Amino acid sequence: MTTDNILLLTTEFCHLCEQAESLLNDYCHQNGMSYKKLDIVDDEKLLEQFRTSIPVVCYHDGTICWPFDATELNQFMQQQ
């Protein structure tokens, strides 16, 4: 299983991040993929860029910011 450059931008104590991770985990499980999870507080540039947008899924050159559902996540992933 490869990460395929899928990155979940998140932070601690974020219930929306937990929801997004559940959706992404389901998508990756169904498609034989995996992802990396990154806390934006560990990266000043990411914190500045995505502070009010997390959770964010980054894949190839695209990003999808919360809110999104399973259908929207699937469409985003297929378009990348």
Spans of all domains in the chain: 6-79
- Using a cut of 0.95, tell me whether the model's pTM lies above it: no
- pLDDT digits over 41-60, tens only? 999 999 999 999 999 999 99
Domain 6-79: CATH class, spelled out: alpha beta
What's the CA gap between 27 and 60, in Å, rounded? 16
pLDDT at res. 63: 97
- pLDDT digits over 65-78, tens only? 999 999 999 999 99
Q: State the burial class of residue 9 (Cβ atoms within 10 Å of its Cβ: 0-12, 13-18, 19+).
A: buried
> For residues 40 and 3, which has the higher predicted lDDT (pLDDT)?
40
Question: For residue 8, which amino acid is it?
Answer: L
- pLDDT digits over 15-41, tens only? 999 999 999 999 999 999 999 999 999
Q: Give the pLDDT band of residue 3 (cuts 50, 70, 90).
A: low
